[in-house]
Amino acid sequence: MPAQIIDGKLIAQNLREEVTAKVARRLADGKTKPTLATVLVGSRVDSATYVSAKQKACAELGMGSVSHNLPEDISQEELEKIIKSLNADKSINGILVQLPLPAHLNEERILQLISIEKDVDGFSPLNIGRLAQKGREPLFVPCTPYGCIYLLEKSGVKIEGANAVVLGRSNIVGMPAALLLISRNATVTVCHSRTKDIAGMIRQADILIAAIGKTEFVRGDWIKPGAAVIDVGINSKPDATKKSGYRLVGDVNYDEAKETAGFITPVPGGVGPMTIAMLMNNTYRAAEIQDS
């Protein structure tokens, strides 16, 4: 039986509507407008696209945004000064530094500087450290991995006791996704470029989160029958039938995998829309946390 398609666009839209309603209630109560500061360094086209989508979402959900578009050659000191001033600015609830930063900047020091109460991306060492420890709760969970878990939960996929494979170990997706699965009592294997038998590992997975950034890397015959497949990849693939000359595909060969999987996210329209919806929810929550 072909897989149930997990409609990330619809699930994200429902979450966005919930956040919109909560923001409207907050404003009706005379409280401040949740406001996100975005920090974009340099001129990477993909980063600029993501940041402008985040700002657009703020406006659509009734929240505020302030943008800092900074030159590629900004110094560490200058960038740190900007982060410190955003930390001190009471009109700013969330701070998002779009990654990756140019190579000359120390990303770790920048992320460490963001006040934990404004760390809506959940990348500060304190939030990640809490996520990694049993019985501790981070204030904010990174948006894309949390989006993956949210899609599984909304689709009724049982995480507790499941064998889960996370393909990729990045700080942004793979590692926090693995921590979130562990916190929900899955048994987790993290596969990466040095893993000996990736196909064999994936064949045992009830849940697969693929975040390796390789076009259609996972083949259909690697998927355990009935497994839930969450595809985080966004890769462009040449396609002469498209006006642009390419189309977006994931890290999983969707056409093959959907024949065996129990649940699968499409690309686009799966995990992608969840990232921004989660960021909006975190920004709303940041404003609530800062009220008290």
What positions carry a catalytic annotation? 54, 98, 121
Q: How far is the CB of 290 from ligand GUN (least distance, A)?
A: 20
CB of 156 to ligand GUN, least distance (A): 26
Q: Kindly state the smallest distance separating residue 101's Cβ from ligand GUN, in Å.
A: 9
Using CB atoms, what's the residue nearest to ligand GUN?
99
Which CB, 35 or 189, lies closer to ligand GUN?
35
Least Å from the CB of residue 96 to ligand GUN: 5
Q: Is 71 exposed, middle or buried (0-12, 13-18, 19+ CB in 10 A)?
A: exposed
Min CB(139)–ligand GUN separation in Å:
16
Q: What is the rounded distance in angstroms from the CA atom of residue 12 to the CA atom of residue 274?
A: 5
Residue 271 main-chain phi, psi, to 5 deg: -70, -35
Q: Please return the burial class of 223, using the count of CB atoms within 10 Å of its CB with bins 0-12, 13-18 and 19+.
A: buried
What are 247's strand-pairing partners?
Answer: 237
Residues in touch with ligand GUN (CB under 6 A): 96-99, 121, 143-144, 172, 275
Task: Using the Cα atoms of residue 284, residue 285, residue 288 and residue 289 in order, give the sign of their dihedral.
Answer: negative
Which helix or strand (DSSP H or E) is residue 182 part of? helix 174-183
C-beta of 140 vs 254, nearer to ligand GUN: 140
Smallest gap from Cβ 142 to ligand GUN, in A, equals: 7
Report which DSSP code applies to 137.
Answer: -
171 to 24, 142, 175: CA distances (angstroms): 34, 9, 6
Whole-angstrom distance, CA of residue 132 vs CA of residue 134: 7
Nearer residue to ligand GUN within complex by CB, 71 or 100 = 100
Please state, in angstroms and rounded to a whole number, the distance separating the CA atoms of residues 66 and 88. 15
**Please, which residue, 105 or 227, has the CB nearer to ligand GUN?**
105
- Residue 189 or 265: the one with the smaller Cβ distance to ligand GUN is 265
- Closer Cβ to ligand GUN, 37 or 159, answer by number: 37
What CA–CA distance (Å, rounded) separates 176 from 172?
7
| Residues in contact with 142: Cβ distance below 8 Å, sequence separation at least 6, in sequence order | 121, 122, 123, 128, 172, 173, 176
Describe the strand order of the beta sheet including 64-70 as a list of residue ranges.
64-70, 35-41, 94-97
What is the C-alpha end-to-end distance of the chain, expressed in Å? Answer: 51
